[in-house]
Structure 1
Amino acid sequence: MDAASIQALIEQGLPGASVSVRGDDGVHFEADVVASQFTGKLPLARHRMVYATLGDLMGGAIHALALKTLTPEERSARGP
């Protein structure tokens, strides 16, 4: 598994999301996901939404995925 494949899966599952995935060892990854679909959702629900885009890969090909999930408004409030 590689970061580009994970990014593509998340982008397919959350249309319009801005996604950045990092991870060099092939099993441990970090992802920043900014999506309007997160509006009104608690962090746990947001993470579940991302995990759902990856299906059975979680716990298998992807051993660990650290997530930072924001709405576009939250991202803008943080500044550059």
Structure 2
Amino acid sequence: MLSALLVRRPFSMAGRVCLSRSSAGSGTVGPVEAVIRTKLEQALSPEVLELRNESGGHAVPPGSETHFRVAVVSSRFEGLSPLQRHRLVHAALAEELAGPVHALAIQARTPAQWRENPQLDASPPCLGGSKKTRGIP
């Protein structure tokens, strides 16, 4: 099971909670992951930032940084719709989304919402390939 392979690595963000989880299990943070973290910290001043590189669960070469899941908890999201929150995240990561990042699952919550459910959702397993190669019409 993928969740058994997750590695938690704490980072310091001036008293805030910041975790990285890697499905690769290597315990290292890659350059794309580091840039994502830095840009989200600068743009949103999150109270919680959890970032998971889920690339290892997809049909990509080992060590890839193409598929990520992020939970961003920020007071900047107060009064914003989910779409507006996602737009803020996308704006902060426009360069990465145009280049090396193929998929980004976003949980953008206010601090109150995070206190109600402080978990990073799990992604479904990758089926790999396209509909044609999986035999799905």
Contact preservation (8 Å) 2:47, 2:111: no
For structure 1, the residue ranges without an aligned partner over 5 or more in a row are none
Q: Which runs of 5+ in 2 are unaligned?
A: 1-30, 56-63, 120-137
Structure 1: how far apart are the matches of 2:102 and 2:72?
A: 18
Q: Report how many aligned residue pairs link the two structures.
A: 80
Runs of 4+ in 1 over 6 A off after TM superposition: none
Q: SS at 1:51's partner residue?
A: helix
Task: Output the TM-score relative to the length of structure 2.
Answer: 0.52
Given candidates 10, 33, 37, the residue that maps to 1:7 is: 37
1:48 matched residue in structure 2: 87
Q: Which has the larger Rg? A: 2
Match of 1:34 in 2: 73
Contact 2:67 2:103 in 1 (8 A): yes
Q: How does 1:15-34 map to 2 (within 5 A)?
A: 15-23=45-53, 24=55, 25-34=64-73
- Percent identity over the alignment is 35
Tell me the secondary structure at the aligned position of residue 31 of structure 1.
strand
Residue 115 of structure 2 aligns with an amino acid whose one-letter code is S
2:113 alignment partner in structure 1: 74
TM-score (norm 1): 0.85
- TM-fit CA distance, 1:35: 0.5
Cα RMSD of the aligned pairs, angstroms, is: 1.8
**Partner of residue 63, structure 1:** 102
Q: What SS class does the counterpart of residue 41 from structure 1 fall into?
A: coil
